[in-house]
């Protein structure tokens, strides 16, 4: 009888651990897809290792696509939510919208739709904000940057105001194209995300 109770207890513990483990879905562009790098060097791979080191069982699904826009992410998200059933969705999109000069209102609508879709299935959302270089003009860059803060306020979601904080504007941390972080910058990207992500796990 004692052995039976012990076995049952271990089974319940395993079930509880499996129930506690969740899925983190990252929908981003080339920055999260580790463009120009071995994917094992990217911040998403570093996140997986951080989770393991700190005792989290969460699985990370990196659905990032180089060159993707918010419109592309919006189109892809519904199927990703059905397939992976995430508990946390990280949205890292908008940089390509800005580089193409697309209207900030369009970016806001696309991201808002993605947030709504994630929240509808019960997922928590972390929004990674982006900023544009000043050569795009003050009016446009300000309108672009404000999209993320406004969405975080309106939709009550977690926000990293500028994902590339401490990296953008530092040539030694950017690849030759001036757009993509180097391998040396990936740990900083993770550090920019981790304090806001950890409470959501």
DSSP labels, the chain:
-HHHHHHHHHHHHHHHHHHH--EEEEEE-TTTTTTTS-GGGSHHHHHHHHHHHTT---EEEE---TT--HHHHHHHHHHHHHHH--SEEEEE--HHHHHTT--HHHHHHHHHHHHHHHHHTT-EEEEE-----GGG-HHHHHHHHHHHHHHHHHHT-EEES-TTTTTTT-GGGB-TTSSSB-GGGHHHHHHHHHHHHGGG-
- Point out the residues that are catalytic: 30, 177, 180
Instruction: Let me know: does 90 contact 61? Beta carbons within 8 Å.
Output: no
Distance spanning both ends of the chain, measured CA to CA: 37
Half-sphere exposure of 157 (CA within 13 A, CB side): 30
At 17 the pLDDT is 44
At 21 the pLDDT is 77
Backbone phi and psi for residue 131, each to the nearest 5 degrees, phi listed first: -135, 155
Q: What is the pLDDT along the chain (201 residues), one digit of tens a residue?
A: 554 444 444 444 444 444 457 999 999 999 999 999 999 999 999 999 999 999 999 999 999 999 999 999 999 999 999 999 999 999 999 999 999 999 999 999 999 999 999 999 999 999 999 999 898 999 999 999 999 999 999 999 999 999 999 999 899 999 999 999 999 999 999 999 999 999 999
At 138 the pLDDT is 96
CATH class as words, domain 33-200: alpha beta
At 163 the pLDDT is 98
- Residues 65-118 pLDDT 10s: 999 999 999 999 999 999 999 999 999 999 999 999 999 999 999 999 999 999
At 20 the pLDDT is 55
């Amino acid at each position: 009888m004692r052995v039976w109770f012990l076995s049952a207890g271990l089974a319940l513990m395993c079930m509880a651990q499996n129930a506690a483990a969740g899925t983190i879905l990252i929908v981003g562009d080339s920055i999260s897809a580790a463009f120009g790098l071995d994917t094992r060097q990217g911040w998403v791979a570093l996140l997986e290792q951080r989770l393991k080191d700190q005792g989290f069982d969460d699985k990370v699904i990196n659905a990032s696509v180089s060159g993707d826009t918010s419109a592309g992410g919006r189109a892809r998200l519904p199927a990703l939510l059905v397939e992976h059933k995430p508990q946390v969705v990280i949205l890292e999109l908008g940089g390509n919208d800005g580089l193409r000069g697309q209207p900030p209102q369009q970016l806001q609508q696309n991201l808002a739709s993605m947030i709504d879709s994630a929240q509808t299935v019960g997922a928590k959302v972390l929004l990674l904000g982006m900023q544009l270089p000043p050569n795009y003009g003050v009016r446009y860059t300000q309108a672009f940057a404000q999209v993320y803060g406004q969405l975080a306020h309106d939709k009550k979601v977690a926000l990293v105001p500028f994902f590339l904080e401490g990296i953008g504007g530092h040539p030694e941390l950017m690849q030759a194209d001036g757009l993509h972080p180097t391998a040396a910058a990936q740990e900083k990207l993770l550090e920019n995300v981790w304090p806001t992500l950890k409470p959501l796990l």
